Structure 1
Amino acid sequence: MLKSFFILWLVSFSLILSGCAGVPSSSARSQMGNLLLAEPLPASARSQMTIVRYNQILAQAPLQAQERAELLYQRGMLYDSVGLSGLAQYDYNQALKLKPDMAEAYNSIGIHFTQQQEFIQAYEAFDSSLEIDPEFEFAFLNRGIALYYGGRPELAVQDLGAFLERNENDPYRALWAFIAEYELSPEQATRHLREASTRLDPRNWATLLVELYLDDISESELLGALAIGVTNQRQLTDRLCEAYFYLGKYHAARGHRGRASNYFKLALSTNVYEYVEHRYARLELNMLREDVYKENQAQQ
């Protein structure tokens, strides 16, 4: 079915380390034994060459403050896309010093604060972004995610609900709204997701993820459908990054820490650095480890 690239299949679950979060059951090994693996994305040569050009312009060209700020922001985005998060965050900070009304830069730096679990700084960054541009919808997404990870699900539901309202056909928006609301009421969250599912675009493959969360399809059925409609290796890797993350969240909510941990590691292995799912997979792993540590401390 996939003619343009080679598909790797996982033969044995023993090839995936379960880490400290627990050992999967025999059913988990069987389920993940048919797992489609991603080919990690290489660092983009085009992005690297563009970074070089930006370096030259920033070092040599006479630029106005606004022009320099825009270039710094664009270079930061490129650094983020190749996994150089420290350099990206530095550029966003420098851009904001030159142009304090750059909503996009506040949004980007807020994401970094969320990944670092510096939630107060993240909230302030997203608030600034929305003060500058109240219609900047991705600030609602990212502030909602920060509130969710920061232990404020009531506020997260508001932001993620507002994000969903701006495009009710998008399954990713429906999933994030569900994930936040699940912390408050699993039953109500499931009911709202069921209602939202009727408005989703069936042509978007991620609608299958919603069906999984609603138990309309099995995990095996989802895994078997991941390559349908894929036409190239990049598209497959992008899709698998997303699928691994949401499968990790699916299992984490059910207390399957070993399986959740493995899926988050697989999301990280794709190297799709700019995706929300890749950005927060490591945070999910850290939180799983913290939960295990707290439980072990409580038992001692």
Structure 2
Amino acid sequence: MPARGPVLAALVSLGVTLTAAGQDAPALLEQARAVYKAGQFKEAAALAEKAAAADPKSFHAPFVAGTAYGQLRDNLAAVKAYTTALERNPKLAEAHDRRGDSYLKLGLFKEAVADFDVYLAASPKDSADHWRRGIALYYVGRFDDGRKQFEHHRSVNPEDVENSVWHYLCNAKASSPKQARADLIPVTKDTRVPMKEVLQLFAGKVSPAEVLGAAEAAKLDAEDQKEARFYANLYVALYFESEGNAAKTKEHLEAAVERYKIGHYMWDVGNAHLEMILKKK
């Protein structure tokens, strides 16, 4: 687990008071939502912050700010905004879920699990969908709980190699790699490159080099090729972690995060994992 003190201290340092005297909070919030929909996330965050300052009772405004900061990958600011929203409306369960995502991306996995649990207590119908909680459980060392979460996720998403792999990773820690391989969830319809080879890697049927080779050999456009290389290196790294090879884990996480940055949630997971490793050095 990474040290949490410096990150939590940075949250406090973001506490900038915005004055918006005389401004119309509903109008500012409407503008924030409009520019957010247009993909102007920095502007949306600024307008939502002004709306929040103009109306100290509004929980919608800091929630919108948090969502915009999340799009900007400014997770410290997102946590602060969602915390403000929850102070103004403690029953705003979705803010716990969103803040949990930001905590996870910051490597604050214990805090992420706590927020996800609060959200799911209020919205139990979403429990099977919540693979993100399973990832957070893996990183706090609650491996059997993580295994159960990914088994539960299978009920709504049975053809996802990533779910199978994270189930394996938790199971390998809770029991053994041999048992995890025997329990590997079968998947036949995940056509993303190189997911077929990733599953075969954890089944013990191909080598890490073959997974990486499949990503390189695929005839894809530039962005899809980068994504394939990212996922190949991420899951090769996680495979090496399950085998206890710290050097290879770090090597392939660095490749995934630093060379093949993509806009997907799993890049943030890989980045948080790499930061955790570097902090331990």
Per the TM superposition, whether the score is higher than 0.5 is yes
* TM-superposed deviation, 1:203: 1.9
| Preserved contact between residue 245 and residue 281 of structure 1 (Cα < 8 Å) | no
Q: Distance in 2 between matches of 1:266 and 1:155?
A: 30
Q: Please say which of residues 214-223 and 132-141 is displaced more in the overlay.
A: 132-141
* TM-superposed deviation, 1:101: 3.6
| Preserved contact between residue 212 and residue 218 of structure 1 (Cα < 8 Å) | yes
Q: Distance in 1 between matches of 2:271 and 2:250?
A: 9
* TM-superposed deviation, 1:138: 7.5
Residues 10-30 of structure 1: CA deviation (Å, up to 9, x unaligned): xxxxxxxxxxxxxxxxxxxxx
Q: Does 1:263 align with 2:263?
A: no
Change (3 A) 1:117 1:49: closer
**How do 1:1-300 residues align onto structure 2 when only pairs under 5 Å count?**
49-56=40-47, 58-59=49-50, 65=58, 67-80=60-73, 84-115=74-105, 118-137=108-127, 140-185=130-175, 186-193=177-184, 196-197=185-186, 199-205=187-193, 206-227=195-216, 231-269=220-258, 270-272=260-262, 274-284=264-274, 286-287=276-277, 290=280
Q: Please say which of residues 97-106 and 249-258 is displaced more in the overlay.
A: 97-106
Q: Please say which of residues 47-56 and 255-264 is displaced more in the overlay.
A: 47-56
Equivalent pairs: percent with the same residue? 19
| Preserved contact between residue 100 and residue 112 of structure 2 (Cα < 8 Å) | yes
* SS in structure 2 at match of 1:272: coil
Residues 168-211 of structure 1: CA deviation (Å, up to 9, x unaligned): 10111111111101112222211121xx22x4314233232111
| Preserved contact between residue 144 and residue 159 of structure 1 (Cα < 8 Å) | yes
Q: Distance in 2 between matches of 1:273 and 1:86?
A: 18
| Partner AA of 1:52 in structure 2 | E
Q: Distance in 2 between matches of 1:220 and 1:51?
A: 41
TM-score for the superposition, normalised by structure 2: 0.72
Unaligned segments of structure 2, at least 5 residues: 1-36
* TM-superposed deviation, 1:76: 2.7
Change (3 A) 1:122 1:259: same
| Preserved contact between residue 253 and residue 274 of structure 2 (Cα < 8 Å) | yes
RMSD: 3.1
Compare relative contact order (CA 8 Å, sep 6+) and give the higher one, 1 or 2. 1
| Preserved contact between residue 63 and residue 82 of structure 2 (Cα < 8 Å) | no
Q: Distance in 1 between matches of 2:107 and 2:142?
A: 13
| Preserved contact between residue 51 and residue 61 of structure 2 (Cα < 8 Å) | no
Q: Distance in 1 between matches of 2:129 and 2:108?
A: 16
Q: Distance in 1 between matches of 2:48 and 2:276?
A: 39
| Preserved contact between residue 160 and residue 190 of structure 2 (Cα < 8 Å) | no
Residues 114-140 of structure 1: CA deviation (Å, up to 9, x unaligned): 455544433321111101211225873
What is the number of residues matched between the two proteins?
240
